[in-house]
Structure 1
Amino acid sequence: MDIDNFLRSRRGAATTRTLQTAGFTRRMLANAVRDGVVSRLHRGVYTSRASDPDVVAAFRADGLLTCVSAARFYGLWTLGGVDALHLSCSTGQARRGVVHHGACLHPVHSYLPIAGVADVLIHALRCLPELEALVMVQSAVSQALLSIDFLKSKLPGNRNGKVREILDLVLPRADSLLEVLAHTHFTRAGLKVQMHVDVPGVGEVDCLVNECLIVELDGGTHLEGKQVKKDQYRNNAAMRRGLLTLHYYYVDVVHHPERMVAEVMAVLRNREVGRYAPARYAPGWVPPS
């Protein structure tokens, strides 16, 4: 493997020590810089033309990417974009456009300037709005990167009380960020919510609310023709069992949760007062089977 391809495998940047460990001599590095194959960012760091800008920024600042800026490197869910670089810097000096975090106390990424997942999540819990931090933690737990008990052990005392409350919202299983968000919104509205319920004749549903209303949280694949037909047949099967069904999408759960909860409450109220069984349908109107 040549130097350029090696750097590409490291997000386009690496330290001299990393390169030398991989077998590239100082002469080889000097020749690569002379030929324009790589660039010398500063003493001890080399980059390729296809380098990741956040990784380069972290090397330049002598810091570690953390919080939401590190999420994509661990495959963690996030809400929206990142409007600033989040770093843990050894110097602690203020830099424009950078959100500074405290020191990292756990093992860091094996070769990139990125905090370890434990510090990334601790920083996120103390920095981000509640739901943004929640989806990152949920994603890490769902991937078995760490446990809730481990995180709680790292956040003791009264000053971390609010942070630990976020951890209490994490589900044992969540296949998407929509599930943990919907569960949080529904339970905070006072509803009884069961996740991943196996309904006989229907299959596994995302949410069963108050034991009578199915809520499905649909991603992009649910817009495909075959999936739409499958969903409709599942709805029919649920109706035969006396269960109503509502479907919501990313925009509903993430951007309009109040409207989603209000619609769920309206359906539950209508069911409670019998609006799905009008009085004119007196007993005996259904033909015998």
Structure 2
Amino acid sequence: MDIETFLDGRGGVARTSALHGAGFSRTYIDKAVAAGRLARIRRGIYGMPRDAGAIGLALRHNALLTSLSAAPLYRLWTLHEAGAVHVSPGHKGTPAGTLTHGRLLHPAHPWLPVAGLADVLIHSLRCLPTLEALVMVQCAAQRGDVTVDFLRRKLAGNRNAPARSVLDRVIPRADSILEVLANDHFRRARLRVRRHVELPGVGEVDFLIEDCLVVETDGGTHLEPRQVKKDRKRNNATLIGGHLGLRFGYDDVVHHPERMVAQVLSVLEQCQRGAFGSR
């Protein structure tokens, strides 16, 4: 195993003792640094060059990454990359240019300069826009890393009411970040939505809206030739089975949700007017 593989499995950073324990000698480490494969973040701590920025800042200031800045290290869904670094500061004070969060209530990550997952999610619920926080919590909750009820108990009081309202929007299962967002947009449009419905001849569909319109959300894999053929067959089977169908991709769901919802409402309105004949 090379040092890059080892670090990838540890969030991109490790102490010298961990590197030695994995069999990497001082000479090997020095050569990796000289070759640009490894970055010395501070004395006794090394990381991948691409990961040395936020992690290095946290280590230099004895701070812990949290909220959106910690999401990649916990492999949580996110809508956007973190701009300013989110930290819970240590004894050296707040690093310049960072977004500061309050005290931690739970144990930190065992080896990375990162707040514990529960604190990361609590901070996200308090500081991030609704949908950004929602997808992070959805990812962690459906993996079984944390429960919504646990987070709700940690967010008591009037000042945490907006954060608790985000928890109300978490769904039992979502196969992709697009599904989370689309479901939220449809619900806010007061549409009657059923998710993961099994249709004869079609299989499981993402959404069945008002019992007549099938909506599928397509990630990047749906652009692969094999998947395109499969989706085409499913589209045909949807119509043959007596349902209308729409498909939306990443750009529709993430960047143009109002247009997506408007198209869904347009089809439903035409259906009510009988534009597609009797079902």
Confirm or deny: 8 A CA contact 2:77 2:136 kept in the other structure. yes
Equivalence for 1:111: 111
Q: Map of 1:89-238 to 2, 5 A cutoff?
A: 89-91=89-91, 93-238=93-238
Normalising by structure 2, we get a TM-score of 0.87
Q: What is the letter of the counterpart of residue 90 of structure 1? A: G
1:258 aligns with 2:258: yes
In 2: Cα distance, 1:62 partner to 1:48 partner: 16
Q: How far apart in 2 are the matches of 1:116 and 1:181? A: 25
Q: Identity over the aligned pairs, expressed in percent? A: 50
User: Do structure 1's residue 73 and structure 2's residue 73 form an aligned pair?
Assistant: yes
Q: CA deviation at 1:222?
A: 1.0
The answer on whether the counterparts of 1:8 and 1:48 sit within 8 Å (CA) in structure 2 is: no
**Residues 208 and 214, structure 1, Cα contact 8 Å, conserved in 2:** yes
Displacement of 1:125 = 0.4
Q: How far apart are 1:11 and its partner, in Å?
A: 4.8
| Shift of residue 40, structure 1, vs aligned partner | 6.3
- Once the two structures are TM-superposed, the CA of residue 241 in structure 1 deviates from its matched residue by 2.0
Structure-2 residue corresponding to 1:283: none
What is the alpha-carbon distance in structure 2 between the residues aligned to residue 166 and residue 115 of structure 1?
21
Q: Kindly indicate whether the alpha-carbon contact (under 8 Å) linking 2:178 and 2:250 is maintained by their aligned counterparts in 1.
A: yes
- Contact in 1 for aligned 2:14/2:47 (Cα 8 Å): no
Count matched residues. Answer: 273
Q: 1:31 and 1:194 mapped to 2: Cα distance?
A: 56
SS of the counterpart of 1:215? strand
Distance 2:110 2:209 in 1: 44
Shift of 1:202: 1.1
Could you give the per-residue CA deviations for residues 159-199 of structure 1, whole angstroms, max 9, x where no partner exists? 11111110010010001111111111001101011111111
**Aligned residues of 1:90 and 1:103 also touching (Cα < 8 A):** no
Matched, 1:86 2:79: no
Quick one: distance in 2 between partners of 1:92 and 1:127?
A: 23
Amino acid of the structure 2 residue aligned with 1:56: G
Any conservation in 1 of the 2:41–2:47 contact (CA below 8 Å)?
no
CA separation of 1:240/1:66 partners in 2, compared to 1, >3 Å: closer, same or farther? same
Answer whether contact 2:66 2:115 (CA < 8 A) is retained.
yes
User: Residue type of the partner of 2:46?
Assistant: T
Aligned-CA RMSD value: 2.9
What 5-or-longer segments of structure 1 have no aligned partner?
Answer: 279-289
Return the offset for 1:49: 6.5
Aligned partners of 1:272, 1:8: CA distance in 2, in Å? 54
Which residue number in structure 1 is paired with residue 46 of structure 2? 47
The whole-number CA distance in structure 1 between the counterparts of 2:270 and 2:5 is 62
**Shift in alpha-carbon separation, 1:103–1:230, aligned structure 2, 3 A:** same
**Counterpart AA for 1:110:** P
Output one character per residue of 1:96-127: Cα deviation in whole Å (capped at 9) or x when no partner.
22111111111211111111110010000001
Opposite residue 47 of structure 1, the aligned amino acid is: Y
1: distance between equivalents of 2:84 and 2:227?
38
Aligned 8 A contact 1:13 1:45 in 2: no
